[in-house]
Structures are given as structure tokens and as C-alpha cells.
Chain A
Amino acid sequence: MALLEMRGLTKIYDQGKIEVPALRGIDLTVEQGEFTTIFGPSGSGKTTLLNLIGCLDRPTAGTIIFDGQELAGLEKKALAMIRRRHVGFVFQSYNLIPVLTAYENVEFAVRLVNEYEKKEIRDRVLRILEAVGLAGLEKRKPNELSGGQKQRVAIARALVKEPKLILADEPSANLDSKTSEEVLQVMLKMNQELGTTFIFSTHDPRVMEYARRLIEIRDGQVAKDQRRG
């Protein structure tokens, strides 16, 4: 069964007297375990598409079926519950909570799921931090970490609850090429080991190199959908 099915997905932003179409009838299917990159020029609708997939926003028209569940009619609370359990986000600016340590930032995500015992939470957090290469840095606060380390914490936070889907919006934008490479390696490893579906939105050719599926968006429509071996 497909993880995501989008049919006729349309998003129009109402900016006073002007209506700005961001997506114009997108049809896409994403299978479980894909490592997909959405690319395209600025303003093409990449981020809008990611927000709709991640239940952060609602489409003006069209349908999204996430893991067999139609999202259109769901209340805010139900959408929040889907995000809490099944979706992880990685943003360009990391968005870590500055008063929490690396460990606590990751712990926060898994505690929200509220399915694990105390010891299991600890084991999970330490395991994922080790997996993203942050062993020994658990007690550091975000301001004591480099950009690459912060992004690893953000990835660990997204992965720790073992979501079905991770959405990463320009995850390498603030990183140098070496760090960017390392972070992408970590995500690829997680994709292979845990089978987590990754969808990236990016301009970065390095990210595209890693992708097994490339979707180009132009003017709010799918211009190209290419799968790699």
C-alpha cells in the first residue's frame, strides 16, 4: 500500500484581493521507504507541498491519503496527532529548543508519543544520538553545538519516534559541503536501516545525488518525476 496518495492537490493563497496559486492539481504517489527529493526554483511550490503532506496546512482542493487515511476532513487535533506519531520534520534552521540539551530535544519528541517506558525512552534517545554521530554530546545545549551537529540533533529528534515519514525542508541549506555530506549519509543510513520514508525539498544538487526519486515542481505542477535504480 502506498504511504501517500495525492490527487488534484491544489493550494491557493488568498492575499487580500489577489489569489496566488501555489499548487495546481498535483497527482503523486509515494511508497513506504522511498528516499525522494522534490526540487524546483524558488516559489515553485515545494515547501507548500511539504506542508500539505506533513499535515501542517490544508489544501484548497484535492485529496491526500496518508497511510490509508484521508486528511481532508480531519480536525486540527487529529492532524496534530498524526504529526505527533507518524511525521518527523527537519528544517533548514534546525528549530531546536535552546533551553533543552541535545538529549532533551530528542527526548521531547519521543515523550510526546507517550508509548514507551522511561528506560526504553532513554535507550532509544541514546541509540539514535549515537547513530547520528552525537555520542558524548548529549548534555550540550544547541548554542554549544556546530550547525552540522544541530542538524543531526534535528534529524535524531525526527527519527527517534520511528515515524513513517520524515519531511526535510532544505536540510543542507545552512551547512558546508562536508557537513552536508555527513548529514545526508546519516539520513540515507536511517532510510536503509529503519525503512523510514524521506521526502526532501531542496535546491541543493548534492541532496539530489542521494535521492532515488527526483520530482521537479514548476509553477505548482509536477514537471518531471524520475526514479533511479
Chain B
Amino acid sequence: MFLTKLALKNLARHRNRTLITASIIAFAVFFYLLLDSLIGGMTEMSYEMIINYEAGHLQVVTEEYWAEEEKLPLKNLMTPGPQLLAAIKDVPGYQGSSAELSFQAMLSNGVNELPVIGRGINPQDFAGVIDLADHFVEGEMFRADGRGAFGVTQAVIGKRLAELLKLQTGDYVTLLVKDKNETFNTIEAEITGLIHTGNPLANQGVVYLPLDVAREALAVGDQASKVLIRLENKNRAPKVANELAEQLRAINPQLAVYSWDQLEAVTVAGAKQMGNQLIMTIILLIAAIAIINTVILAALERMEEIGMMKAMGLQTKEVIYTFVLESTGIGILGGICGLLLGLAGVGLFTIVGVDFSAIIDMTPYGIPVVGKIYGVWNPASFVTVFAFGVIVSLFASILPAYWAADKDPVKAIYSR
């Protein structure tokens, strides 16, 4: 008990040093909480962007197609027959489904061309899964039959893509595609609408076309790449995916159902998060170094005192205890200050948000978010980082404390 009292008194012995070390810990905790909140917000938003503008909650595909999905192949497609669609509509929490044919294409305005992803869709079904209605900045979605005046094919593209190719609604574009038989084909289309969403891929890399037109141009008959499904609750997607997969096996054993969290983009976002955890660990290691430095300085200053304490009969472990307790006290002080700063910072982040797109294009870093990113509250992080800060302070001080406490008492007493 007396040693505890001594350790606490030592905290106030060099106030400036204690405050500086505690400040380093406080800032490490603060930055951890800010980064955690930001990454949490970024991840959450990127999930929403992928679900809302790319993939829905579930995707029904053949397993072979899924393995090569990134290449948008025209092999291993599926046939969304009535039996399959009926089974899909029966899943719990069903909100909508849409068959889609995805393909690679070159979009040309007659002068320049850009590589794009073509998405052949039925606009009515598609609206049940991915609602673009509120995102039209010009024009509108093409009609259900996908044909305009004189039977011209209609298409919708992103505003950013339109800017790159200097296009507007009413303009005509040509899509160069390779059909299932590796034969080149073209699709002439009139732009009926321009969209701007929070998803950069939808804004600058996708052309939406009528499903029938895409099927015909790509010679795939009545096949589709996949069927997208929207549910009432995204958290139920993995469970529903398993249940639906069981049912579909009877219809077509090659069919598989994947939930949104199994998408590659989402997995990449998760990997990024792990990388950021590593960065945050480094921040806390800096705090550990500050503690080690403080303990060594304190030990060097108090060498005679340590010698006297050992002469009085204190054992090495008791001297270590006083130093470790003192460092833990600094850790607790720094941790509490860091939590308070974190509460204010994260609170501000969740309300005001940060517009990273004004500073840097996040798309190349796998963050499919355009516009402001808002922080999220993660109470577990507050508890974890506080505990981690205190534990780091405790463990970081053991070795230098042992170094000091194990000194020969004679050398310590006469160290001056």
C-alpha cells in the first residue's frame, strides 16, 4: 500500500515529464479513435455503395462464372427461368430481383473511346434492386422495351463518363463488344439519361442497356450473368444465401448464391482495414517508446534512491512495482485524456464528416465512395484502445524498471 502511495506521489514529481508522456499517449489514443471512426465510416459507406449501386444483397450465379467474375466472361452463364425466379421471390425478406448480363465493351462517341462495363438490365426489375431514380442529373431511365423513336436502342451512363466523352442526353454512342463466339459486334444507342451516384464506378465506368439488346448483341440467347436480389435487411443476407443455395441445387446444381459480404471489393475493404489497424498499432508503439524513455530517465535520476530503497530491504520486484505502477498511472492519465479528445473528435466526425474527394481520389485505393465520409461510433474501440494504452504503458515499463531495480545496491547508492 505504501509503495502504491509512493508511486502515485512520484507521478507528480516531474509534472512536466508526466504530462508530456501522458500527452503522447493521449494523442496516440485520440488518433487511433479518429482513424478507427473514419475507417469504420469508410468501410460502412463503401459496403452501402457496393450494395446500392453494384451488387444488391445477394447474387445468384454459376460457380464457374463466380470464379472468373472479374473478367465478365460470357461463358458459364445461367438461365433465369420461371422456376428459379419463383424460388428467389419466396426467400424471406425479399424486396426485388433483377437478371443482368454484364460484359466488357468499348464506348465510343465517334471520336474517342473508353473501356466500360456494359450492364444489360430490365429497368423495372432493376429498380427493385438498385434504385437509380433519384440519381438522374439529366434525362431518365430508358423505357421498359429499351427502344426509342424509330426503334433506336436506349442507354444510361454516368455523368462523369459523359463528361469524359463530352456527351449529353440525346447523343448517340457506339459500343464495341465481342459476342459469345468471339465475333465483334456493335450496339448503337441513344443516351436517355445521365446519373451521378456515390459510387465512382457507376459514375464513370458503366453503360446501362436493355437486357434484350445486350443478349442479342452478345449472342447468349436467354441467358444472364447473374440475378441480383435485394432483401429488407442486409444482415440476414448470409443466412438467406445459404438457404436459397440449398433450394436452387434442385433446380440447377451448378448455381450458387453469394451474399454481399463475399464480394471481392468488400474483402479488399476488409484487408485495407487490417492494414490500417497495423498503422494504428505503430502509433501506440510510439506511446510505448515514450513510456520506456520516461522510466529510464526516472531510473537514472533516482539511482541513489533505488539503492537506498534496496538497502532498506526492498526486493527487486517491489522496486519494479513502484516504477510499473507509476507508468501505468501515466498510461491511465493519457488514456482518459485521449478518450475525452476522442469523444469530441469522433462526435464531430459523425456530424460534420470529411470530404476526402476534395483532397484525393479515393477510388484507386479501393474506397468506392464519392463525397463526404462520416465517422461511426465504435464503443468497443474506446474500451479496447484505453485498455491497450494502459497495458502498453504497463508492459513497456517492466524491462527498464527491472534494469533499474536489479542494480547492485552498493553501485546504486554510490552512483554519484
Contacts and interface: CB of A to CB of B under 8 A. Distances in A.
A207 B307 CA distance: 25
Contacts of B9: 99-100
B301 to A, nearest CB: 10
A2 interface: no
B2 A107 contact: yes
A56 interface: yes
A51 interface: yes
A83 interface: yes
Interface string B307-321: 111111111100000
A81 B313 contact: yes
Contacts of A84: 312-314
A179 B316 CA distance: 35
Of B308, B309, B311, most A-chain CB atoms within 10 Å:
B311
Interface stretch (B161-169, B365-373, B408-416): B408-416
Given A56-B410, A99-B10, A100-B9, A83 B2 contact: no
Given A97-B305, A99-B6, A109 B311 contact: no
B410 A51 contact: yes
A132 to B, nearest CB: 17
Which of B6, B10, B413 has most chain A Cβ within 10 Å? B413
A84 B314 CA distance: 7
Contacts of B6: 97, 99-100, 108
A203 interface: no
Given A98-B13, A99-B10, A100-B6, A56 B409 contact: yes
Contact-residue bracket for chain A:
20 to 34
Interface stretch (A64-72, A85-93, A194-202): A85-93
Contacts of A100: 6, 9
Contacts of A99: 6, 9-10, 12-13
A112 interface: yes
Nearest to B313: A84
A107 B3 CA distance: 12
Contacts of B315: 76-77, 80
B304 interface: yes
B13 A89 contact: no
A196 B97 CA distance: 96
A56 B416 contact: no
B406 to A, nearest CB: 10
A97 B2 CA distance: 13
Contacts of A57: 408, 410
Interface of A: 47, 51, 54, 56-57, 76-77, 80-85, 87, 89, 91, 93, 95, 97-100, 107-109, 111-112, 157
Shortest beta-carbon contacts, A-B, top 7: A84-B313, A95-B308, A99-B9, A83-B313, A111-B2, A89-B311, A56-B409
7 contacts: A54-B311, A56-B310, A56-B311, A57-B410, A76-B316, A87-B313, A95-B305
Interface of B: 1-2, 6, 9-10, 12-13, 304-305, 307-316, 408-410, 413-414, 416
Given A56-B413, A99-B6, 19 more contacts: A56-B311, A56-B410, A57-B410, A80-B310, A80-B314, A83-B312, A83-B313, A85-B313, A89-B311, A89-B312, A91-B413, A93-B304, A95-B305, A95-B308, A98-B13, A99-B10, A99-B12, A108-B312, A109-B312
